Chain A
């Protein structure tokens, strides 16, 4: 599967049900919305009623949480069929999921469990990514996850692992800068080292989000405003890069929509001027 570059479409928001009606009523200045793919693995009702209207007005991208691409269990083709059906209906500009495993056999953790950074895991992921992309007939973007542990077995850093996987498969990443910050704090590395190691052509999208800081460690909750550290990381990273699709992601403790818009506008304001030139080709 050849990975053609994804179009630059600007600054987006995660589309969540509590904002459906306000979005339709106010048509906010958002360049695109990202949906959680699995929320639309249903036949009808409110989710589709609203999405069908919103997708008439905004570009949509799809972000999954349950593919479990790193699992050593057989690939779940029922899941991929559901995903395909949803892709056909939504017609997203791109799709993404997480570089992790979440299920094994019949058990589903509903969590984004980290992979060990080993040659074995690299080969396993490369093989599975090819199968999935061939089945879906489109590239799959992978997001880095937050982690709270380091495996004894790991042979390289997370950023080396991502770079190696990109070299092997030409895959692209959704870099969640909050997740990088969370992992950096939990594992005591410099987040800039991670960000600097990922080549521009390997990045399709950025997530900006919040977390909960417990002092001794940080938990990636995506239910808080984006903190100053993450804003600074984004600002400094953006200075060194060409335009990358950037999104504010909030998954819980939903604030008034205006607060998310304020975060989106802040991201626009601190990104380089070149990032405001949209190319909707």
Chain B
């Protein structure tokens, strides 16, 4: 190992593991002691990454309160030191951390709030593309409909919650107390960038959620309709649900303009 490699290794271990060996590389100067000079870098590292989690997970921070949020940050930093060049990705493993570490894993809503906030971020800067227009739907020949393959816009994120994560996020955002975490049945959500580039989210019925999952899995429209029928009482009702979804999704920009006609 060259001396430059050793110095950099010791520097990084000082930041990530609180190793003190790095201090031997620091020249004595008037003013601050070597340990204080090293500490400036340690503090900067911790403050910078804490700030990223605070910014990316503002409502999770409010839900947890200062002490638990700090405990979470310390645990997360120790478990998952940043390895990507972009700070944008630093918190990607936070939902997993919360679902697998005490005391957070006992409260499933925490992982869900964190995941919801990650999906908001993902939708924010997903790829742009032209969105589906009603005129395109009108131009599809009737016989082609079963083999049409729609595509979700890249910003679309689908989420299922076992807890009141999104409702709690909304309440905290409005400076209201969050509701009870328990909900009677699971809830489904779509997160997507709107045409003014703001990120929006909407509650979905189970039927619409499953239809969107089918589209996400690149299934043709005929299969999407079958999925809808499976979650309603008849084919007719299923078809009505699909048409309602297509209309809402087209209005809100959930589908790309590129539609494929699969070979029958």
Q: Which residues of A contact B88 (CB under 8 A)?
A: 41-42
Identify the interface centre among A45, A101, A107: most chain B CB within 10 Å of its CB. A45
Inter-chain contact A151/B27, CB cutoff 8 Å:
yes
Q: Which residues of A contact B197 (CB under 8 A)?
A: 45-46, 49
The reply on A7 being an interface residue by CB < 8 A is no
Q: For the complex, give the distance between the alpha carbons of A121 and B4 in Å.
A: 7
Q: Which residues of A contact B155 (CB under 8 A)?
A: 44-45
Contact of B4 among A105, A106, A118 (CB under 8 A): A118
Inter-chain contact B27/A108, CB cutoff 8 Å:
no
Q: For the complex, give the distance between the alpha carbons of A100 and B102 in Å.
A: 38
Stretch at the interface among B61-69, B77-85, B138-146, B158-166: B77-85
Size of the chain B interface, CB-CB below 8 angstroms: 48
With A45-B193, A118-B4, A217-B32 in contact, do A111 and B41 touch (Cβ < 8 Å)? Answer: yes
Inter-chain contact B40/A153, CB cutoff 8 Å:
no
The reply on B15 being an interface residue by CB < 8 A is yes
Inter-chain contact B4/A120, CB cutoff 8 Å:
yes
Q: Which residues of A contact B7 (CB under 8 A)?
A: 116, 151, 153
Q: For the complex, give the distance between the alpha carbons of A151 and B7 in Å.
A: 9
Within A75-130, the residues touching B (CB, 8 Å) are: 76, 79, 101, 103-111, 113, 116, 118, 120-121, 124
Q: Which residues of A contact B85 (CB under 8 A)?
A: 38, 66, 68, 76, 79, 103, 108
Q: For the complex, give the distance between the alpha carbons of A186 and B123 in Å.
A: 43
The reply on B154 being an interface residue by CB < 8 A is yes
Inter-chain contact B34/A45, CB cutoff 8 Å:
no
Q: Which residues of A contact B49 (CB under 8 A)?
A: 110
Q: For the complex, give the distance between the alpha carbons of A151 and B29 in Å.
A: 10
Q: For the complex, give the distance between the alpha carbons of A110 and B26 in Å.
A: 21
Q: Which residues of A contact B41 (CB under 8 A)?
A: 109, 111, 113, 148-149
Contact of A48 among B24, B44, B128 (CB under 8 A): B128
Closest residue to B90 on the A side, CB-wise? A110
Within A12-45, the residues touching B (CB, 8 Å) are: 38, 41-45
Q: Which residues of A contact B250 (CB under 8 A)?
A: none
Closest residue to B9 on the A side, CB-wise? A104
The reply on B264 being an interface residue by CB < 8 A is no
The reply on A187 being an interface residue by CB < 8 A is yes
| Interface flags, B20-60, vs A, CB<8A=1, else 0 | 00001111011110100110110011001100000000000
Closest residue to B48 on the A side, CB-wise? A110
Within B99-147, the residues touching A (CB, 8 Å) are: 123-129
The reply on A253 being an interface residue by CB < 8 A is no
Contact of B37 among A44, A49, A104, A148 (CB under 8 A): A148
Contact of B40 among A120, A148, A187 (CB under 8 A): A148
Q: A119 to chain B: closest CB distance in Å?
A: 10
Q: Which residues of A contact B193 (CB under 8 A)?
A: 45
Closest residue to B44 on the A side, CB-wise? A111
The reply on B255 being an interface residue by CB < 8 A is no
The reply on A59 being an interface residue by CB < 8 A is no
* Selected A-B contacts with CB under 8 Å, 5 pairs: A45-B124, A47-B125, A118-B3, A148-B40, A153-B25
